[in-house]
Amino acid sequence: DTMKALRPLIPIRFEEIRVAVKIPAEHAAKAYGDIDAFARIEQEEWQKDGSWICVVKIPGGMQQELESLVRKVSRGGGQVRVIQG
């Protein structure tokens, strides 16, 4: 009841979202460990060109942190897309 009363006042998000992440080949090995430590990897696939694609599940409030992590580990070359919110 308390959380329901606070939600309109403070944007608290507990729902989880699924996010697709693509990392270029030259950064994929390092990114794998960092993303695995940050989020729960649900699916993953290594592409023929060496790039890595995964689907992770994270709390909705951590989307910006994930995007920042992907930018950092891929030096701006990664892609992030919410596939379920």
Supply the pLDDT for residue 15: 82
Contact 74, 11 (CB under 8 A): no
Supply the pLDDT for residue 5: 73
User: pLDDT digit string (tens) for 4-33?
Assistant: 676 666 665 568 899 999 999 999 998 999
Q: How confident is the model at residue 60 (pLDDT cuts 50, 70, 90)?
A: confident
Residue 47's alpha-carbon distances to 12, 41, 50, 85, in angstroms, are 37, 16, 5, 26
Give the mean model confidence (pLDDT) for residues 25-47.
94
- φ/ψ of 83, rounded to 5, equals -110, -10
Contact 54, 35 (CB under 8 A): yes
- The percentage of the chain sitting over the pLDDT mark of 70, rounded to a whole number, equals 84
Supply the pLDDT for residue 70: 95
Please tell me the total number of residues recorded for the chain in this structure. Answer: 85
